């Protein structure tokens, strides 16, 4: 079978090896769709934490069930999977927080992932398609990350939420915050994405920090109150550090984006506002189930995010184009037919 490996930063290679066979407790899947996410882009660029090379990327997956003994699954079934393999024994797992397991192995990050024609995975991480097609299934995982971030932020209808970063995760954050009834402001430096958020996602306001002062614009929008929820999906340290100034008194700041460096902020400013700072990592089964429910009900149409596609064997040739901001990529999908 063919597979693609990131040998080192900025270098993909198409290789071949024998098709894997499932061990006891595993299933064999034929990959149909692979979503390209920020983690893959950071890994390719050499800026992804918790990462070693060479690595087979890919954890936003839609697949066909081929064989195994997973209860309730039959050959030919459409499936997706939760790509966070937890130990089940650490303090986080014992408390039901499998998304931040102390010994977690994220498929395509800590261990080789799904950029391959076939994969084997532990059967307990499989999810039925529930009638969703392969494109939709490939987008369940990034939407689950967004759903988890909004749940961490405890967003309610009374909230004004600033989502920083209008990539695929940010777009999911916008949609789930809107589903919760909140007013949503979007910050990004890409006008194409801002227009998309305004027109397609009904964002209440958009801000491009290259064109206007963010603090002054937020004061205008909120009548001087600032925003009581800030959620970062940029993974940019400068953006994260600056955002402490955007949080209203008594507000919450949730970090969904990830970067390698340290954060710094004024303790007196942070303290006087009684700011809540938290991270949001991966997602839980509850988030996946909620996302699939939203997709089935039509509350979210993820296909409108898909702006670029390529066949599996062509991906290497177009990847640099996908990550070039001038090409206005929102979501790229790799197809295997």
- Asked, for residue 295, whether it belongs to a domain, the answer is no
Same domain, 159 and 243: yes
What CATH number is given to the structural domain containing 317? 3.90.180.10
Q: What are phi and psi of 94, to 5 degrees?
A: -65, -25
pLDDT at 320: 96
- 115-134 burial code (b ≥16 CB/10 A, e <16): bbebbbbbbebbbebeebeb
Residue 163's contacts (CB-CB under 8 Å, 6 or more residues apart) are 170, 173, 174, 177, 184, 185, 186, 187, 231, 233
- Taking the complete model, does pTM exceed 0.75, yes or no? yes
Q: 45 and 108 in one domain?
A: yes
On whether both 215 and 311 belong to a single domain, the answer is no
- Structural contact between residues 254 and 152, judged by C-beta atoms closer than 8 angstroms: yes
Say what the pLDDT of residue 261 is: 86
CATH number of 201's domain = 3.40.50.720
Residue 94 is predicted with a pLDDT of 97
Q: Is residue 166 domain-resident? A: yes
In a domain, 205, yes or no: yes
Q: What is the pLDDT of residue 289?
A: 97
Decide if 289 is inside a domain.
Answer: no
Q: Is residue 288 part of a domain?
A: no
Residue partners of 296: CB distance under 8 A and separation at least 6: 130, 131, 132
The verdict on residue 189 lying in a domain is yes
pLDDT tens-place string over residues 240-255:
999 999 999 999 999 9
Let me know whether 127 and 211 are in one domain. no
Indicate the pLDDT class of residue 35, thresholds 50, 70 and 90. Answer: very high
Beta bridge partners of 28: 67, 120
Is residue 328 assigned to a domain? yes
Residues 69, 155: one domain? no
Count other C-beta atoms under 10 Å from residue 66's C-beta: 17
Partners of 68 in the beta sheet?
27
Same domain, 214 and 311: no
Alpha-carbon span 49 to 258, nearest angstrom: 8
Report if residue 193 sits inside a domain.
yes
271 and 159: one domain? yes
Q: Based on the domain organization, do 109 and 196 belong to the same domain? A: no
What is the tally of structural domains in the chain?
A: 2
Same-domain pairing of 27 and 119:
yes
Task: Return the higher-pLDDT residue of 39 and 246.
Answer: 246
pLDDT band at 50 (very low <50, low <70, confident <90, very high): confident
* Residue 176 contacts residue 127 (beta carbons within 8 Å): no
Owning domain of residue 307: 2-138+301-335
């Amino acid at each position: 079978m063919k597979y693609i490996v990131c040998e080192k930063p900025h270098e993909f290679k198409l290789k071949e090896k024998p098709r894997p066979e499932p061990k006891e407790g595993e299933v064999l899947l034929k990959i149909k769709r692979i979503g390209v996410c920020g983690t893959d882009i950071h890994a390719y660029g050499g800026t992804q934490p918790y990462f070693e090379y060479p690595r087979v990327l890919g954890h936003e997956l839609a697949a066909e069930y081929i064989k195994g003994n997973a209860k309730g699954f039959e050959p030919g079934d459409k499936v997706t999977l939760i790509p966070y393999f937890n130990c089940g024994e650490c303090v986080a797992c014992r408390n039901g927080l499998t998304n931040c397991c102390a010994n977690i192995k994220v498929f395509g990050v800590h261990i080789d992932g799904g950029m391959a024609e076939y994969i084997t995975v532990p059967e307990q991480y499989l999810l039925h398609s529930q009638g969703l097609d392969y494109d939709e299934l490939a987008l369940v995982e990034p939407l689950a990350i967004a759903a988890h971030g909004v749940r961490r932020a405890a967003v309610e209808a009374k909230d004004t939420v600033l989502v920083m970063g209008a990539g695929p995760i940010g777009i999911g954050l916008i949609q789930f915050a809107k589903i919760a009834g909140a007013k949503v402001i979007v910050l990004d430096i890409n006008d194409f994405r801002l227009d998309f958020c305004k027109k397609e996602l009904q964002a209440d306001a958009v801000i491009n920090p290259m064109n206007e002062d963010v603090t002054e614009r937020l004061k205008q929008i909120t009548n001087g109150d600032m925003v009581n929820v800030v959620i970062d999906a940029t993974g940019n340290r400068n953006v994260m550090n600056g955002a402490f100034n955007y949080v209203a008194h008594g507000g919450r700041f949730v970090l969904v984006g990830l970067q390698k460096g340290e954060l710094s902020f004024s303790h007196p400013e942070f303290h006087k506002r009684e700011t809540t700072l938290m991270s949001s990592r991966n997602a839980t089964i509850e988030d996946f189930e909620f996302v699939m429910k939203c997709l089935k009900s039509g509350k979210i149409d993820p296909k409108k995010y898909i702006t670029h596609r390529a066949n599996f064997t062509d991906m290497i040739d177009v990847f640099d184009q996908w990550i070039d901001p001038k090409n206005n990529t929102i979501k790229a999908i790799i197809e295997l037919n």
